[in-house]
């Protein structure tokens, strides 16, 4: 794939590639893992199939050694003159095995090195400590609040972001605590 940054070297054992229509079942399985409805959204097959062909979207999947899908990330708001790219959704089939980190690391390389965006941002539930810890480790910082509707009631999500300058200033992974 293009746009692989040096920072990805440490995660090179996890293969990553753009998703295809054939990956939708596995992507849906990832976002429907038990307990995930508390922290991540889910789409129908039709919604994923439509999103996959949107020029403003990118889907990346992480694979195990047998080429099975172990996680995915969806980017949105990609445009030729985009100043910010949204990391719309990220989920791992099995937590704590490095797939989330590999996916986000690659997504940031794509956003800054390939797309030349000025900023990457996402929304995370404040109770999602695991997600926020991962985003913080990769250089993202809290950047405001987003008012949303959840189950018909108003709720507030945390916005986290990283700009191109902070991305380039990040320490290599070997120096990251």
Ligand X SMILES: CC(C)(COP(=O)(O)OP(=O)(O)OC[C@H]1O[C@@H](n2cnc3c(N)ncnc32)[C@H](O)[C@@H]1OP(=O)(O)O)[C@@H](O)C(=O)NCCC(=O)NCCS
- Strand 119-124 vs strand 15-18: parallel, antiparallel, or unpaired? unpaired
Of 44 and 176, nearer to ligand X (C-beta) is 176
Of 116 and 130, nearer to ligand X (C-beta) is 130
Instruction: List 142's β-bridge partners, or say none.
Output: 160
Instruction: List 48's β-bridge partners, or say none.
Output: none
Q: Which residue is nearest to ligand X (CB)?
A: 100
Instruction: List 89's β-bridge partners, or say none.
Output: 74
Residue 144: phi and psi, rounded to 5, are 115, -175
Q: Least Å distance between CB 13 and ligand X?
A: 13
Binding residues for ligand X (CB under 6 A) = 36, 39-40, 90-92, 95-101, 124, 128-131, 133-134, 137
Q: Which two tokens stand for residue 133?
A: 């810890």
Of 78 and 100, nearer to ligand X (C-beta) is 100
Q: Least Å distance between CB 87 and ligand X?
A: 8
Q: Least Å distance between CB 17 and ligand X?
A: 17
Q: Least Å distance between CB 166 and ligand X?
A: 18
Of 38 and 53, nearer to ligand X (C-beta) is 38
d(Cα 28, Cα 47) in Å, to the nearest integer? 11
d(Cα 95, Cα 154) in Å, to the nearest integer? 29
Of 118 and 157, nearer to ligand X (C-beta) is 157
Q: What b/e string do you get for 137-148 counting C-beta neighbours within 10 Å, with b at 16 or more?
A: ebbbeeeeeeee
């Amino acid at each position: 794939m293009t746009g692989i940054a040096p920072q990805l070297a440490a995660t090179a054992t996890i293969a990553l590639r753009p998703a295809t229509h054939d990956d939708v079942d596995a992507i849906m399985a990832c976002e429907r893992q038990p307990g995930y409805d508390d922290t991540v959204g889910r789409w129908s097959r039709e919604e994923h199939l439509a999103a996959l062909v949107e020029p403003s979207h990118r889907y990346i999947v992480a694979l195990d050694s047998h080429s099975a899908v172990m996680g995915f990330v969806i980017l949105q708001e990609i445009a030729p003159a985009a100043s910010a790219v949204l990391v719309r959704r990220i989920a791992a089939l099995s937590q704590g095995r490095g797939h989330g980190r590999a996916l986000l690391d690659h997504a940031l390389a794509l956003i800054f090195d390939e797309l030349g965006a000025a900023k990457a941002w996402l929304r995370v539930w404040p109770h999602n400590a695991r997600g926020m810890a991962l985003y913080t480790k990769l250089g993202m910082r809290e950047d405001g609040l987003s008012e949303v509707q959840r189950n018909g009631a108003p709720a507030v999500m945390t916005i986290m972001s990283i700009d191109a300058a902070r991305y380039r200033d990040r320490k290599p992974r070997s120096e990251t605590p």
